[in-house]
Every structure is written in structure tokens, then in C-alpha cells.
Amino acid sequence: MASLFRSGLRLARNFGTKATVLGSHSSITRYSIPSCAKYSTDVSETSSGIIQPTEQIPAVRVSPEIARQKLVEYGNFVSECLPKFVQQVQITHTNELELLVDPEYIVQVISFLKDNALSQFTNLSDITVVDVPTRPCRFELVYNLLSLAYNQRIRVKSYTDELTAVDSIVEIHEGANWYEREIWDMFGVFFKNHPDLRRILTDYGFDGHPFRKDFPLSGYYEVRYDDETERIVREPLEMAQEFRKFDLTSPWEAFPKYRKPAELPPPPTETEDKK
Amino acid sequence: MASKISTGLVGLAVEANPRQKLNILYNSILSVVSKIPATASYRKYTEEFANQQLKKLDTIKDDVQLEIDLGPGQFEEVIYNAKAELRLARKMISWKPWEGLVVQPPPGQWDWP
């Protein structure tokens, strides 16, 4: 059915019968004025508190409440259209929409976001990975997209572990080429159907994936010029001082809203044959 | 639009017959989308969108006003977007996204922090 919403970020289900559009008009001249969310549907619809820019008044920034409401409606629209692909939809407190997606269907979701006339997320801003080693699927893939037509951003998140490959989106967004190479180099996430997946930032014979959380800060090898052999040599790391780790956690609780209840063992049950 | 000389966008040539092209495109979107089950939200929203655009094409006679009303951008951009939507609609028939969620994420996957 429709994707799940977190209780703390519960999205309203009050979308109307009109397909919601994170609308903005570009003017018909070639120098289109970038504007924030304006509705481009029927002329009879009210602008719901959004002031259209004219030559005298520049585009006024949309208030956060209205911007959030529009994103909420759009998030509902996407989750309604793609219930098979989208596991959750959430919106951050800074009004950033995130779609949490099944990794099998990343290509489909990004294709939808690019081609759909009401979305038009044609610009791929970034692809990254967040490594959270405590999770079973430790790598959280993050795709950031921008819609130039509607001046909105969206984030598509998925997950994978060290051994599972993920489909490349290079066929949809050409710009994903180097981003995916970087992810392969730095994290070790393999992309199927990538035209040219090889290292991009590490040295030529480098072993390992540096951005993983279990890779040490200083690395394993050091490189220096050796006078005798007159070439660069790579040797295991030798540090003059051992690595100092500072525990910077504050004595006060950081996230009171995300407090997990302490897991106590279940109380001992009184059995009848207890003597 | 007899008066338009250039779109101002590299690689996008001026359309001589935008109304006709858009008519054809939106009608073919409607025919492709009709193959999806009627309960699917994608079909509902896409039909609504296409019908809205067709209605504007029929009612608004002035070309300048139509270009403003039809959607973000010039006619050529709207045609490009309609073609993209048509491609997407064809793919959606094979993807079948209206079926419910099949794979649940692993437990604790989306917990934060």
C-alpha cells in the first residue's frame, strides 16, 4: 500500500483532486525569472499566499510553512504514484523532502522524477554514501536532485551493503558517472551497467576504501622518496606519536527526542513449583 | 508562433506548429496511460494533467497567453516535457509501480540517529 510515514513527521493526507504542481512560471522570454513555488494550474485557482513577482516587486521568498506544505503535497503525490518503489517519505525540519527507496528500483524512481511533467528533476546535484556500520546494510546511498522548472530539491535515499551491487543511473543522468566512480573508490559500492567504473581519487595501486568508517584516518601505508633506490617507495605506516583519540561527547544528553527506552530484562515470572 | 525567431536555448529549435504537436502528444499520453488499471494514482494524476493541458489548448486562442499558461517554460520546453512524460508512461506499464510495497527495508535501516 502507500508508503509508511514516521509518526513524528506525519505528512498530511489532504491533497486535493488537482495534481499538485510545485509550480513556477518562467516567462516566455529567454531570460526567465527564477521564482519560488507558484502554481501554474487553472487560472481560477488562488495563489494561496504567494506573491507573484512583477517588475516593481522582486520575487518574495515563500514562507517556510507554505513551502513545507507544498513539499508535503508533492511527497504524497510521489508516494501515491510509486507505492511499489518508495518505502517511506519524510521531510526534515529544514523543509527538505526525502524519498526512501528500495535499492532494486532506484533507476525507476529517478527516471520517474526526471521525466514526469509535474516533477522535472532534471539536474543531478550529487550522489553520496553515508556509512553507518551498525546497520545490516551499512551504506546509505543519497541522490540529490534539483528541478530547475519548479525550483525544488529532493533527496532520494537507498541502501546497500558491501557485497550487493546497485544499478547505475548513468543512462538517465550523465553526470552520475564520476560520482559513482568516487563512491566505488571511496566506499566500495559496485554499480552495475556503469560504463567505466574505476578508481578516481586514490593512488593507482591503492588498496582499500578510505571513506569507510573502519578505515583509519592515517591509512595503512606511507609514501616517501628513497634516495638509495631513487624512487617513491610505499611502506607500512610509522607514526612518531600514537594516535590520540579525544572523546568529545558532551556530558549532557544530545537528542532528548530520540531517547530509546532502556532495555530491561523481563521481570521473573512466579512459577507454581518454585520452592 | 510566427513571431518567434529563437528559443534562446541551445539545441532547441523553434516549433512551427506547437499546438498540433502538443495535441498529438497529450492524446497519445492519454491512450498509453489508459492501459494502466484505473485504480492507479499515476493514471489518475496523469490523465488529469493531460486533460487540463488539452483544455487549455482548446480554450486559449491567444498564443502568447497559451505559452504562459501551459506550463513552466516556452512551447518547445513543454513539448520536450510531454515527450518525456510519454516515454515514462510507456515504461510505467512494464514497471507496474501501483502494486503495493513488496520489499520492506531491513529492521532499523531508516532509524536516525
User: What is the reported pLDDT for A35?
Assistant: 37
CB A65 within 8 A of CB A49: no
User: What is the reported pLDDT for A249?
Assistant: 87
User: What is the reported pLDDT for A274?
Assistant: 53
Count CA within 13 A, CB hemisphere, residue B8: 12
Q: For the segment A107-145, what is each residue's pLDDT rounded down to a tens digit?
A: 999 999 999 999 999 999 999 999 999 999 999 999 999
Confidence of residue A241 (pLDDT cuts 50, 70, 90): very high
Q: A29 or A169: which carries more pLDDT confidence? A: A169
Residues of B in contact with A115 (CB under 8 A): 84-85, 87-88
Residues of B in contact with A164 (CB under 8 A): none
Q: Which of residues 212-251 of A touch B (CB under 8 A)?
A: none
Q: Which of residues 36-65 of A touch B (CB under 8 A)?
A: 40-43
- Residue A214 forms part of a structural domain: no
What's the CA gap between A166 and B91, in Å, rounded? 20
- Residue A226 forms part of a structural domain: no
Residue A37 pLDDT > 60: no
Domain that holds residue A107: 65-197
Q: A274 or A152: which carries more pLDDT confidence? A: A152
- Residue A130 forms part of a structural domain: yes
CA distance A195 to chain B (A): 22
- Residue A131 forms part of a structural domain: yes
Q: Closest chain B residue to A78 measured between Cα atoms? A: B42
User: What is the reported pLDDT for A272?
Assistant: 59
User: What is the reported pLDDT for A229?
Assistant: 95
Predicted TM-score (pTM) of the model is 0.81
Confidence of residue A60 (pLDDT cuts 50, 70, 90): confident
Residues of B in contact with A38 (CB under 8 A): none
State mean pLDDT over A24-46. 36
> Which of B30, B56, B54, B55 shows the shortest CA–CA distance to B43?
B30
- Residue A14 forms part of a structural domain: no
- Residue A261 forms part of a structural domain: no
Q: Closest chain A residue to B70 measured between Cα atoms? A: A40
User: C-alpha angle with apex A95: A94 to A100, nearest 5 degrees?
Assistant: 110
Residue A237's identity, in one-letter code, is: L
The Cα-based distances of A49 to A64, A66, A105, A257 in angstroms read: 12, 8, 37, 33
The domain that holds A120 is classified in CATH as 3.30.460.80
Measure the CA dihedral A76/A19/A125/A8, to 10°: -20
Confidence of residue A163 (pLDDT cuts 50, 70, 90): very high
Q: Into how many domains does chain A fold?
A: 1
Confidence of residue A273 (pLDDT cuts 50, 70, 90): low
Confidence of residue A48 (pLDDT cuts 50, 70, 90): low
ipTM over 0.90: yes
Taking the Cβ of residue A26 and every Cβ of chain B, the question of whether any pair is shorter than 8 Å is answered with yes
User: What is the reported pLDDT for A112?
Assistant: 97
Q: Mean pLDDT for each consecutive 10-residue tract of chain B (113 residues)?
A: 78 92 97 95 95 95 90 91 96 93 90 77
Which phi and psi angles does B19 have, rounded to 5°? -60, -45
Judge: B85–A116 Cβ closer than 8 Å, yes or no.
yes
Q: For the segment A181-230, what is each residue's pLDDT rounded down to a tens digit?
A: 999 999 999 999 999 999 999 999 999 999 999 999 999 999 999 999 99
What residues have CB less than 8 Å from A255, skipping those under 6 apart?
B113
- Residue A267 forms part of a structural domain: no
State mean pLDDT over A29-55. 48
Q: Closest chain A residue to B36 measured between Cα atoms? A: A81
- Residue A162 forms part of a structural domain: yes
What's the CA gap between B17 and A31, in Å, rounded? 23
Judge: B72–A258 Cβ closer than 8 Å, yes or no.
no
Percent of chain A with pLDDT over 90: 65
Strand order in the sheet with A152-160: A86-91, A97-101, A152-160, A139-147, A123-131
Judge: A19–B82 Cβ closer than 8 Å, yes or no.
no
Average pLDDT of every residue of chain A: 82
What's the CA gap between B76 and A107, in Å, rounded? 26
In this complex, which of A115, A137, A149 lies closest to B73 when CB atoms are compared?
Answer: A149
